Amino acid sequence: MVGVNTRSLVVWCADWPVTATGHDGDEVPVATVHANRVQACSAAARAGGVRRGLRRREAESRCPGLVVMGADPARDARAFEPVVAVVETIAPRVEVLRPGVCVLATLGPSRYFGGDHALAARVTGLVVGLTGEPAGEPASGLARVRCSVGVADSVFAALLAARTGVGVVAPGATARFLAPLTIASLERPALVDLLDRLGITTLGRLAALERADVTARFGPEGEVAHRLASGLDERALAPRALPPDLVVTAEFDPPASRVDVVTFAAKGLADELHRRLTGIGMACDRVVIEAETEHGERLARVWRSDGPFSPQAMADRMRWQVDGWLSGSAAGRPSAGITLVRLVPDEVVPDNGCQLGFWGGSAAVDERAARGLARLQGLLGPEAVTVAAVVGGRGPREAVARVPWGDERVASPDGMAVAGRPWPGSVPSPAPATVWADPLPIEVTDEAGTPVTVTARLGLSSAPARVDGVEVLSWAGPWPLDQRWWDSAAHQRQARFQVVVASGVAHLLVLEGGRWRLEATYD
Amino acid sequence: MTVPEAVRVCLTPAIDHGLPVVTVLVPAVPTLRRGVTVWVGASTWLAMALAAGPSAAGSWTVAVGLPSLGVVAAAEVGVDLRRLALVEVEVGQWATAVAAAIDSVDVVVAGVPAGLQATVARRLSARARERRSVLIVVERPGAASAGPAWPERADLRLQVERWWWTGLGAGDGHLLRRRATVTVNGREAGGRRRQVDLSMPPGPATVVGERAPSFQPLRRQMWSA
């Protein structure tokens, strides 16, 4: 390992897993738990006696109002993105050690901002400013971020400077700063335990030993510990690479009010985006197409595709979307010409190519249908074109789930097998051909004209003889349905009837809450 | 090899360029020629049954403007749900949507809105003929019928005169078996008007459509009658 020493600035956000959950650490006692042990806790929880490493039960017993959340590294990383982004405005090469801690080299920025203290103050101001001015709402959705900044000759020392609150350590004074700190700051439990028992209780004492001796006794881990204690880094900073700019934009001056102008630009945009993506070996299967007008109206839509998008497919979708917008209903149409279209790749996957099947016959038909349906979605909106899957249920309406075209299917392709499983209390087949989207209220009366009711014990008051005045030829019921009794919002308690009326048409009637309605018709 | 009675696909010779038709409908519609416009009055089930033949054989179906379509019933009569798409439209965009659907798939089932103009109807029929897709126009269920909703004379016109249901008594039983008296009319029906009785036997709880013979083996399903 080469001896590199870059003067570094570390931004350390206290209790980051707790901050990432969005709770305010000072008010609410929150702890995140991983493998049944507390991983991080908020200031309020600490005041209540919760510490890292406690068992969950123990923590809950010490602090009764504790809010316990599961550890989610993805959530922490995602929440830390805005912080890193704002630090990247100061210096382009920022390394994220872990969610909550990021590092940057201070050589350039320090000179630019006039010293380490000024730089540290600026970074602190930026990060704290992320979570909201006193008056407004948090800009990034985070709760208050408690961050502190440390500057020193090595990353390890800077992190300790941030955590202990020292702030800026003068250049060359790093070893002196580290000397009185306890050996436990190394965070290598086995080695620390051993060193402690040997009487090496501070970093200064470890640094005072000869490195060769430490390496001989403790091995490579000991060497690393000695370097850290001396104020050296074990490795150089590894800044994250800047993401390539994958957003392509085209502007129109004068504003375009016809589709063909946009179409012409769309092809060029799609080719450019495809070129940039293949340059980094990626392809995108989800893209956001945005269009803006002179008056500020925006239409943004997410397009999905089964395989990666080809440039032609992206250009087509842009054309359909703009066409649908410009020629849509008067309410949705824009009031001015289009000034800007933008393609933003939403989900980018490694480009592995596309294996077409043999016997291309049915694939060509599917392809043609898929293009047509995507075009319909462009004209009418993504929710207007749906595919239905049978998911099983007790009534003709709930047995079906509708999914917008292009979304991953909700149900398995084996849906009919699921429907074939016993659903006690379901309406027997054959199923009705018309299931009313808005069930109509009707009146069901007996011979004398009094409304027919069903008691809680399924006792029918009288035989139904007329439905909205039309004579009933034959009927069957009541078939009770009482499902989801445990969920007050989804509870359904109905009695169902099948009737055949005078014209020969059969209907499915439902009595719920004392009211009759026409649920479906067997036409 | 047992095959669901209701959905045994009846294949007609290829010289007709006809699409297959399910067995139930064969007495009324022996074959469905590509490019025809079919008008179906007063029955969504009949429209679905017409679409089921081609669907089970591999064609795609799009249903435009039928928000109350019973999908389970469509699956029971033989429509393959993996190749069925449902499109909801506002009144102003109905014609555009149907035209776009005709361009892309083989069978389009469209619920006709009120006040459709003859020119629009004629143009859609011509487009279906040109693209060799079947356009099935259905009277929207529940629509107040003030005269024929499809102003053009469709190539094939089917109208359910009367339904007969067996299985219900006076408080017992459940709907079992349907029979319909259908009037068939139009150029495609040989120019004569005739009445046909279609009888649909009670189907099993799960009905799997049979694919047309292709490179895949036919699927066999076990069910309890």
B50 touches chain A (CB under 8 A): no
Question: Under an 8 A CB cutoff, do B70 and A388 touch?
Answer: no
A400 touches chain B (CB under 8 A): yes
User: In the predicted model, is pLDDT for residue A136 greater than 50?
Assistant: no
Task: Sort out which chain B residues have CB atoms less than 8 A from A437's CB and list them.
Answer: 67-68
pTM, entire model: 0.58
Which of A329, A369, A417 minimises the CB distance to B60?
A369
B138 touches chain A (CB under 8 A): no
Which of A369, A416, A475 minimises the CB distance to B206?
A416
Question: Under an 8 A CB cutoff, do B163 and A505 touch?
Answer: yes
For position A236, what pLDDT does the model report?
67
DSSP count for chain A of H helices, then E strands = 16, 20
For position A260, what pLDDT does the model report?
85
A35 touches chain B (CB under 8 A): no
Reduced to 3 states, what is the DSSP secondary structure of residue A122?
helix
For position A397, what pLDDT does the model report?
85
Closest CA to A127 of A111, A149, A157, A105: A149
Q: How far is B173 from chain A (nearest CA, A)?
A: 6
Question: Under an 8 A CB cutoff, do B205 and A463 touch?
Answer: no
Question: Under an 8 A CB cutoff, do B86 and A402 touch?
Answer: yes
User: In the predicted model, is pLDDT for residue A201 greater than 60?
Assistant: yes
Question: Under an 8 A CB cutoff, do B175 and A506 touch?
Answer: yes
Kindly report, residue by residue over A53-92, the tens digit of the pLDDT: 899 999 999 988 898 988 888 888 888 888 888 888 888 7
More reliable by pLDDT, A100 or B222: A100
B39 touches chain A (CB under 8 A): no
A441 touches chain B (CB under 8 A): no
B62 touches chain A (CB under 8 A): yes
Which of B72, B101, B215 minimises the CB distance to A372?
B101
Instruction: Please tell me the distance from the alpha carbon of residue A270 to that of residue A265, in angstroms, as a whole number.
Output: 9
For position B99, what pLDDT does the model report?
94
Instruction: Please tell me the distance from the alpha carbon of residue B150 to that of residue A40, in angstroms, as a whole number.
Output: 69
Query: What integer best gives the mean pLDDT of chain A?
Result: 84
Alpha carbon A240 to chain centroid, angstroms:
22
Tokens 């094939």 belong to residue: B156
Question: Under an 8 A CB cutoff, do B97 and A379 touch?
Answer: yes
CB A337 within 8 A of CB A254: yes
Chain B CA closest to residue A438 = B68
Question: Under an 8 A CB cutoff, do B85 and A386 touch?
Answer: yes
| Top-ranked range on mean pLDDT: pick from A285-294, A411-420, B201-210 | A285-294
Mean pLDDT throughout A513-523? 91
Instruction: Kindly state the percentage of chain A with pLDDT values over 90.
Output: 21
* Residues contacting B53, CB < 8 A, separation 6+: B9, B10, B19, B20, B21, B22, B25, B32, B78
Q: Can you name the residues that pair with A518 across neighbouring β-strands?
A: A440, A509
Please list the ranges in chain B whose pLDDT falls under 50. 1-3, 5-6, 8, 11-15, 203-225
What tokens were used for A413?
Answer: 């392709």
A423 touches chain B (CB under 8 A): no
B57 touches chain A (CB under 8 A): no
Angle at A21 between CA A20 and CA A26, to 5 degrees: 90
CB B219 within 8 A of CB B199: no
Q: How far is A234 from chain B (nearest CA, A)?
A: 58
Question: Under an 8 A CB cutoff, do A506 and B163 touch?
Answer: yes
Please count the other Cβ atoms lying within 10 Å of the Cβ belonging to residue A384. 19
Question: Under an 8 A CB cutoff, do B76 and A430 touch?
Answer: yes
Task: Sort out which chain A residues have CB atoms less than 8 A from B62's CB and list them.
Answer: 372-373, 376
Q: How far is A310 from chain B (nearest CA, A)?
A: 19
Q: How many CA atoms lie within 13 A of B209 on its CB side?
A: 30
Question: Under an 8 A CB cutoff, do B104 and A371 touch?
Answer: yes
B52 touches chain A (CB under 8 A): no
Reduced to 3 states, what is the DSSP secondary structure of residue B158?
strand
CB A162 within 8 A of CB A149: yes
Question: Under an 8 A CB cutoff, do A433 and B208 touch?
Answer: no
Question: Under an 8 A CB cutoff, do B42 and A523 touch?
Answer: yes
What tokens were used for A369?
Answer: 């249908």
B118 touches chain A (CB under 8 A): no
B108 touches chain A (CB under 8 A): no
User: In the predicted model, is pLDDT for residue A459 greater than 60?
Assistant: yes
Chain A CA closest to residue B79 = A388
The ipTM (two decimal places) reads 0.80
In total, chain B counts a number of residues equal to 225
For position A2, what pLDDT does the model report?
43
How is residue B83 annotated by DSSP?
G
Which of A379, A387, A463 minimises the CB distance to B100?
A379
Question: Under an 8 A CB cutoff, do A431 and B44 touch?
Answer: no
Question: Under an 8 A CB cutoff, do A379 and B142 touch?
Answer: no
B48 touches chain A (CB under 8 A): yes
Which of A390, A428, A435 minimises the CB distance to B68?
A435
Task: Sort out which chain B residues have CB atoms less than 8 A from A439's CB and list them.
Answer: none
Instruction: Please tell me the distance from the alpha carbon of residue A280 to that of residue A276, in angstroms, as a whole number.
Output: 7
In total, chain A counts a number of residues equal to 523
Least confident residue range of A196-210, A333-347, A349-363, A376-390: A349-363
Burial code of B176-204, b = ≥16 C-beta within 10 A, e = fewer?
eebebebbbbbebbeeeeeebebebebbb
User: In the predicted model, is pLDDT for residue A481 greater than 80?
Assistant: yes
Dihedral of CA atoms A191, A195, A201, A202 in degrees, nearest 10, equals: -60
Task: Sort out which chain A residues have CB atoms less than 8 A from B223's CB and list them.
Answer: 420
Question: Under an 8 A CB cutoff, do B85 and A373 touch?
Answer: yes
Closest CA to A324 of A379, A256, A263, A377: A379
Which residue, among A383, A412, A429, would best test binding to B if mutated, counting the most B CBs under 10 Å from its CB?
Answer: A429
Task: Sort out which chain B residues have CB atoms less than 8 A from A463's CB and list them.
Answer: 170-171
Kindly report, residue by residue over A309-368, the tens digit of the pLDDT: 888 888 888 888 888 788 766 667 788 889 999 998 887 877 766 655 555 455 677 888
Query: DSSP string of B107-152?
Result: EEEEEEPTT--HHHHHHHHHHHHHHT-EEEEEEPTT---SS-SS-S
Task: Sort out which chain A residues have CB atoms less than 8 A from B165's CB and list them.
Answer: 474, 500, 504, 506, 522
Mean pLDDT throughout A277-304? 85
Question: Under an 8 A CB cutoff, do B84 and A436 touch?
Answer: no
Q: How far is A368 from chain B (nearest CA, A)?
A: 6
Task: Sort out which chain A residues have CB atoms less than 8 A from B44's CB and list them.
Answer: 433-434, 523
Please count the other Cβ atoms lying within 10 Å of the Cβ belonging to residue A369. 20
Which of A387, A390, A476 minimises the CB distance to B72?
A390
Mean pLDDT throughout A274-284? 86
